[in-house]
Every structure is written in structure tokens, then in C-alpha cells.
Structure 1
Amino acid sequence: MREYNDPILTAKPHTILAGEQIKITVFGQTDLSNTYRVNDRGQISMPLLGVVATFGKTPTQLSEYIAYLLSQQYLRNPSVSAEITTYTPIYIVGAVKSAGQFAFTPGVTAAAAIAGAGGFLRGANLTKVRLTRRDNGKVFEANVALQTPLAAGDIVQVFGPLSTTQ
């Protein structure tokens, strides 16, 4: 089992995931500006451009990519912004009062997410939790401190008094 300062836990920019909603603004082009949901293939469908690959891109990279695509045939020097409006949820399970799915907010820590799930049950391990994270198609697990920042899609497991897999 990985512990605390594992490289997979280092903060890195959020990349767009399936199911997220992205607000695309093409300045001066209201017909192209809209909120789009990323499909299971990591794509959105935009007027003029059709299918646009979003998976693995940061919002800034997506803005630049869409501007590039539009500049190839349709617009001169387009200015585009992309903002994630709905992130992939996080999941809090185990020895908490209200386990389940919760909205992700950038910067949220394991401790804050557990508080959002109603807090610890009596006898829960108050010092570390198990974090499961997907990154580039791989699944990583690590025992982490409560101050660890979460990423969209993370699963946080809180150990109870009878857990032997801590």
C-alpha cells in the first residue's frame, strides 16, 4: 500500500473527465458559446466543429484547442474560454455518518469532504484514510493524511474500529 507523500497524490491541474459540464465561451460568437456535457468518450459536440476531444485536457488546453480549430476555417483570431461548471463527484465511504456521492470543489481536502459526509462515526480512524484515485486510466490506492487535497472522482474510505485493512 502506498503511503502519504506518494507522487500520485501531488497536486496537478485538473483534466477534463467524462460526465463533467464545461462552459465554452467564444467571445463575440453567442451561437458557439454554451455549456456542454462531456460524453463517455471524452468528447463534446459543438456547432461548426462537430465532435471535439476534451479528455485529458485542462480547461486552458481545451480553450486553446478550440481556438485553433475555429481559426483553421471559421474565425480570425478567435478568443475562447473554457470553464468546468460541474465536476465528476467524489465518494466518501466507510465509518462516516452519511456515506455517498458528493459534489467536488477544487481545493477540498479529505477532512473537509468527511465533514461534508456528516463527520466520523464513533471509533473511526481519525488520522488517516484510504484514497482511491484514477489517473490516466490507472487506479491508485494510498493511505493518506486528512489534509490531503482531493481530485474529482476520488473515493475516500474511512476505517472503522473493526477494520483490519488499515
Structure 2
Amino acid sequence: MKKRILASAVLVLAATGAIAEIRTYQEGRDFSSTSIRPGQASFSPAPIPKEWVLKGEPVTESVAVSQTDDGSTQVHLWRTTASTFRWTHRADEIITILEGEVTITEADGTRHHLTPGDVAHFPVGSTQTWEVPKTLLKSAILKYPAPQLVDAPLRWLRRARTMIVG
């Protein structure tokens, strides 16, 4: 019982200190918003790896729009010309099709035809085949996984909290 009370006290002190540190950090950061018009964006080359290309010679470009303060989440505009390629996601990705269309085939054979306004999510590590019949423009939100050294202690704190709080 005494160990549980001591563990609870340590957890409360650690959490209080962490919250105070986060608040102090957030008070000093920039809170300005970001927006961009695709037609006025300065795109840079972002080639698809040659071994991923199955058909065509895609010309692929992107532009970074914004990112979260910790850098774990980024927003990009991305466009490519007609082609077919495999894509393996290095981050969780949520896309919105802005112009053009794409047919995406999942590893299990499931196909999705996306047109302007459609939204899709691709988990980190997943691979699909993308068939782009004409120039495609998408908005992409990329959420990169936290390094294990950061992620594991956060999981432990959440588990400890649930054991103490209930």
C-alpha cells in the first residue's frame, strides 16, 4: 500500500512538472496561422524513387505548407504527372484530392477511385499501387511516428496513470 501511495505521489509530481513545462514552452511560441494557394505555391522537385515507378516517367513536386511546433506533423501540397507507381508510407498520411484523380490499389487488392474532395488515410508502413491518369494534386498531412525513446515513456506514464486513477 505504501509503495502504491509513493508511486502515486511521484507520478503526480512528475505530471505537474511536465504540465508546467509544457505551458511555459507554449506561452513563448508563435501562434500565427499558415495558408497557401496551390497556384501560387513554389513547388520543388520530389522525385518518386525509380524502383517504385511501374509505368510512365512521373514529374513529382511538393511544397511544405506548415508543420506542428514539435515537427511530428507536416502539411504538404504534392503533385505528379500521369504514371503508375508503388508507394510505401513512411508516416501516417491523410490526403485530400484537390485536382485530378487516382485509383489506389491496396495490398489486399481493394481499389479506391479518388477524385477532387475525396479524403483518404494511409497508415505508416502501408504500401499501395497508385494509377494516375493525368496530373494529380493533393494536400497531405503527414504524422511521423515518435521515436521509441520518446514514445515508450509516454505509454508507461499513461498506463501508470490509469492504474492509479482507475
Report TM bin, short chain. under 0.3
Structure 2 length-normalised TM: 0.24
Larger Rg: 2
Higher percent of residues as strand? 2
Structure with the bigger percentage of helix: 2
